[in-house]
Amino acid sequence: MLTLDRVSCHFGGVTALDQVNLTVLEGQVFGLIGPNGAGKTTVFNLITGLFPPSEGQLTFQGQSLLGLASHHIATRGIARTFQNIRLFSEMTLIDNVIVGMHTHLNYLIWDAVLKTPRFRTSEREARAQAQQLLHRVGLGDSPLELAGNLSYGNQRKLEIARALAARPKLLLLDEPVAGMNATEKNTVMALIETLHQDQLTVFMIEHDMRFVMGLCDTVAVLNFGRIIAQGSPSAIQSNPAVIEAYLGQEDT
Partner 1 sequence: MDWSSWWSTYSTLVLSIGVYGLMAISIYITLSCGLLSLANAAFMGIGSYVSAVATMQFELPFSLALLLGTLTPSVVALIIGVPVLRLSGVYLAMATLGFGEVVRVVALNLDITGGPLGLNGIPLLTEWWHVLLALILVLILLNALRHSKIGRAFEAIREDETAARLMGIATHHIKLLAFVLGAAIAGLAGGLNAHYTFTLSPGNFGFENAVDILTMAVLGGIQGLIGPLLGGAIITLLPELLRSLEEFRMAANGVILIAVVLFLPQGIWDPRRFRRWLKKRATHVDA
Does residue 185 contact residue 208 with C-beta atoms inside 8 Å? yes
Asked if 142 interacts with partner 1 (CB under 8 A), we say no
d(CA 56, CA 7): 4
Q: What is the DSSP string of 7-43?
A: EEEEETTEEEEEEEEEEE-TT-EEEEE-STTSSHHHH
Decide whether 112 or 243 has the Cβ nearer to partner 1.
112
Asked if 70 interacts with partner 1 (CB under 8 A), we say yes
Asked if 233 interacts with partner 1 (CB under 8 A), we say no
Quick one: which of 91, 189, 243, 247 contacts partner 1 (CB under 8 A)? 91
d(CA 249, CA 18): 23
Asked if 144 interacts with partner 1 (CB under 8 A), we say no
Quick one: which of 2, 9, 32, 79 contacts partner 1 (CB under 8 A)? 79
For residue 71, CA distances in Å to 74, 106, 138, 170 come to: 5, 15, 28, 15
Quick one: which of 55, 63, 86, 132 contacts partner 1 (CB under 8 A)? 86
d(CA 167, CA 111): 23
Quick one: which H or E segment has residue 158? helix 152-165
Quick one: which of 8, 61, 83, 105 contacts partner 1 (CB under 8 A)? 105
In the shown chain, the binding pattern of residues 17 to 56 toward partner 1, with x for contact by CB under 8 A and - for none, equals -------------------------------x-x------
Candidates 22-30, 34-42, 67-75, 243-251 — which segment interacts with partner 1 by CB under 8 A?
67-75
d(CA 232, CA 211): 14
Asked if 128 interacts with partner 1 (CB under 8 A), we say no
- Sites for partner 1 among residues 188-217 (CB under 8 A): none
Decide whether 45 or 218 has the Cβ nearer to partner 1.
45
Decide whether 143 or 214 has the Cβ nearer to partner 1.
143
Candidates 15-23, 26-34, 107-115, 214-222 — which segment interacts with partner 1 by CB under 8 A?
107-115
Q: Which of 105, 100, 107 is nearest to 134 (CA)?
A: 100
Q: Which residues contact 93 (CB under 8 A, 6 or more apart)?
A: 134, 139, 142, 143, 144, 145, 146, 147, 150, 158
Burial class from Cβ neighbours inside 10 Å (0-12, 13-18, 19+) for residue 192 reads buried
Residues of this chain that bind partner 1 (CB under 8 A): 48, 50, 69-71, 74-75, 79-80, 82, 86-91, 95, 98-100, 102-103, 105, 107, 109, 112-115, 119, 123, 162, 166
